[in-house]
Amino acid sequence: MFTEEKLAAVLVAEKPKYEVTPIVKLNKAYFDISVKVKAGINELHTDLTEKELTQMAQEKIEEQIRKTYQTAFKEGIDIYNLGESLYRKHPHQWKSIATGKQQLVLNQDSLRHVKVEVNIVYPGRYKLHEHGESTS
């Protein structure tokens, strides 16, 4: 993670859990994704509170999810298998909007909401504080 283009911390994320909620509006598929991940601090290069570090991690993960989606979408790839979640939960709606040989149901703005929750469970040798300055 970076603050003002300077490396702030390196976190190791493990045991991610996610939930995909498909929504169909006006014959278009949209998806809300909720991600929960446990993280450990591998390196800490700047003083951050636990809240600041958690918020930075959540923003970075959301950014990476959205960027990966857009890159894959441009190639016609359903990288997160979102179409399957629509198929499993609402097969009739999926069938009415699936197009092409690959049965894609995605559009440029299909990825609607991405909620990321990071829980720092292993601070390593770093002592993080709820408020104020952290020390390393």
pLDDT in tens, 16-73: 999 999 999 998 999 999 999 999 888 888 888 889 889 999 999 999 999 999 999 9
What average pLDDT score do residues 70-97 get?
93
CA dist., res. 43 & res. 66, Å (int): 25
Tell me what pLDDT residue 9 has: 85
132 Ramachandran zone, left/alpha/beta (phi>0; psi -120 to 50): left
Question: What's the rounded Cα separation, in Å, for the pair 48 and 135?
Answer: 8
pTM above 0.85, yes or no: no
Q: Which pLDDT score, from 0 to 100, does residue 81 have?
A: 93
What is the band of 128 on the pLDDT scale with cuts at 50, 70, 90? low
Nearest to 70, CA basis, from 57, 80, 60, 59: 80
**Residue type at 105 in one-letter notation:** V
Q: How many residues does the chain have?
A: 136
pLDDT at 136: 43
Burial 15-24 (b: 16+ CB within 10 A, else e): eeeeebebbb
Alpha carbon distance 112, 29 (integer Å): 10
- The set of residues, in sequence order, having a beta carbon less than 8 Å from that of 99 and lying 6+ positions away, is 105
Contacts of 45 (CB under 8 A, 6+ apart): 6, 7, 8, 9
CATH topology of domain 9-122: GMP Synthetase; Chain A, domain 3 (3.30.300)
Name beta bridge partners: 99: 104
Q: Please give the mean pLDDT across all residues of the chain.
A: 86
The CA-CA-CA angle for residues 117, 120, 121, to 5°, reads 125
